[in-house]
Chains A and B, each alone.
Chain A
């Protein structure tokens, strides 16, 4: 699919991060899951862990702490208590 996902991570202390990605995996409370473009509207909670996203063949990660995860219309919104880019 040519479509891409928009990933948005926001925390209360002002950290915001937006990126267009091809796919991502996130640590849900009931197990890790992956999201591809065209995913159904979906809301869940995340445990602390790493969100791994791929742009092309490069994969990067963001560490988040207890977060909400919402995806609708290829827009992924993550509201985390805290977040940090992992190198």
Chain B
């Protein structure tokens, strides 16, 4: 039976934890709203870019563009998006589990895996299992910046063009709803924009390119990759906050439950001491009167 003071200490500590989780939940809610509006803002551009690219690729010869070409897979680059901070439920675990699965599959096929990790949690994970990482990016989640993303994309496109990687796969958390985020694996390189719908190639062939088809494609394709990575990062960001918010909400509920239990225990213990004291006094008085 723990003493009164033990229980009291326990209650204070649980209360303090509760304060932290409540604050974190509120912060997450605010950040979630912000990052959700970010992704909503980025969506129209992204959609139109994909549309434009698919209209264009339908009209060009894919063989002549490196970024569109399928080639023998010798080295596949995995880009893993996790968060920098923990306390967000299964967010990171899900992505890393998915990554491990993809890596196993690739290794079974005898394909080399090269890794780009984004976020501290991914870095720590690969470090723990001593898996070599080609590039690590951390600490840019606070404010996702298009310029930073462009630097990442440029680096990847460069290694793709010089042949050190043959494919790029991105693993990240897809934001389905506040309650549901699922890990998603997407192949970004070689680029495969969806085929333009409802437009027969006859109409598309008429596009005039200026200055030239090659030059347009050479800027449009990297742009597309950049944009897709940017979008994945934003998506991951929203998922992180949503995941954290839910995790903190659960923590809050647990705190409440635990507090109720502890308070009951405390009151019982207090009553028990009072009863014992009373018995002592009554016993003493009786002994005196005899």
What residues make up the interface of A, taking CB atoms closer than 8 Å to B?
8, 10-14, 16, 28-30, 40-45, 68, 70, 72, 77, 79, 81
Contact = CB atoms under 8 A, between A and B. Distances in A.
B210 interface: yes
A32 B62 CA distance: 30
B207 interface: yes
B126 interface: no
B42 A43 contact: no
Q: Which of B40, B41, B46, B230 gathers most chain A CB within 10 Å? A: B41
25 contacts: A10-B45, A12-B45, A12-B227, A13-B42, A14-B38, A14-B45, A28-B210, A30-B211, A40-B206, A40-B208, A41-B203, A41-B204, A41-B206, A41-B208, A42-B208, A43-B207, A43-B210, A45-B215, A68-B49, A68-B216, A68-B220, A70-B55, A77-B48, A79-B48, A79-B49
A77 B211 contact: no
B223 to A, nearest CB: 8
Contact residues of B: prevailing secondary structure:
helix
A70 B52 contact: yes
B42 A14 contact: yes
Interface of B: 38, 40-42, 44-46, 48-49, 52, 55-56, 146, 203-204, 206-211, 215-216, 219-220, 223, 227, 230
**Which 5 residue pairs of A and B lie closest in terms of their CB atoms, listed nearest first?**
A14-B41, A44-B210, A42-B208, A12-B45, A10-B45
Contacts, number: 68
A26 to B, nearest CB: 11
Nearest to B49: A79
Nearest to A69: B210
A16 B45 CA distance: 9
Contact of B56 (A13, A43, A79): A43
Contacts of A41: 203-204, 206-208
A11 B49 CA distance: 10
Contacts of B223: 68
Given A12-B230, A77-B52, A79-B45, A72 B219 contact: no
B41 A44 contact: no
Contacts of B211: 29-30, 44
